[in-house]
Structure 1
């Protein structure tokens, strides 16, 4: 299985937008968000991922050449995920872990990964996917892991 995590071009923004709709659909179970008047959830900050000064980065995930997800990274100190989405077909197959680790390698340094309260599957995933020791915290809004990634 070939897994690629490639920067999304501005021409691929509509693909990322559609993937984020699928992600929002999955998340509506946790955040209770409703569809907007056009039948979409929308993603307010998507355009920011193609503005260089924003230090945001959009990636499309492909498995054997087929679109399999997207990742949005807000680089900084610490780095954070804007979104991390793998389509259901490729979940629980190791794809997400390989993608996460590829992103950590691409952005070495301090990271903060956050999971919304109630999303126990995401907490379990990140505990497995983070390749180094991390500090975990729980608050009323969810769980988070802090760690430092070093490029391999």
Structure 2
């Protein structure tokens, strides 16, 4: 299985938008959000990921050429995921871990990964996917993992 994580071109924004709709649908079980009046959840800051003035980076994940997910990275100190999504077909197959580790290697430095309360599968996933030792704090709002990725950590393959 060949996992590819590549920057999403502006022409691919509609693809990212549709993947984020799938993600929002699944996530609505945890945050209780409703569909908007046009039958979409929407993603308020999606356009920001293609602005030169923002330090935001959109990515598409493909497996053997087929779409498998997307990630939105907010680079900074610390780096954070705006979103990280892998379609169900590719979950529990190593695709998410490979994609996450690729992005950690691409953006070395301090990271914070935040998981909303109740999303136990995501907490377990990040505990496996984070390639270095991390600190973890659990609050009523959710779980937060803080860690630093050194510049020499190669992406998983």
Short-chain TM bin: over 0.9
Between the aligned partners of 2:103 and 2:123, the Cα distance in structure 1 is: 18
Deviation of 1:53 (Å): 1.6
TM score, norm. by length of structure 1: 0.99
* Residue matched to 1:36: 36
Does residue 82 of the first structure (1) align with residue 82 of the second (2)?
Answer: yes
Unmatched runs of 5 consecutive residues or more in structure 2:
none
Q: Secondary structure at the match of 2:53?
A: helix
Supply the RMSD in Å over aligned alpha carbons.
0.5
Between the aligned partners of 2:31 and 2:63, the Cα distance in structure 1 is: 29
Between the aligned partners of 2:58 and 2:98, the Cα distance in structure 1 is: 17
Runs of 4+ with deviation above 6 angstroms:
none
Q: Secondary structure at the match of 1:26?
A: helix
Between the aligned partners of 1:5 and 1:108, the Cα distance in structure 2 is: 16
Q: Secondary structure at the match of 2:136?
A: strand
* Residue matched to 1:125: 125
Between the aligned partners of 1:61 and 1:97, the Cα distance in structure 2 is: 11
Matches within 5 A, 1:47-66: 47-66=47-66
* Residue matched to 2:5: 5
Deviation of 1:36 (Å): 0.3
Between the aligned partners of 2:21 and 2:143, the Cα distance in structure 1 is: 23
CA deviations 1:14-70 (Å, max 9, x no partner) are: 000000000000100000000000000000000000012210000000000000000
Deviation of 1:140 (Å): 1.2
Deviation of 1:122 (Å): 0.4
* Residue matched to 1:92: 92
* Residue matched to 1:102: 102
Report the number of matched residues. 152
* Residue matched to 1:20: 20
TM score, norm. by length of structure 2: 0.96
Deviation of 1:107 (Å): 0.1
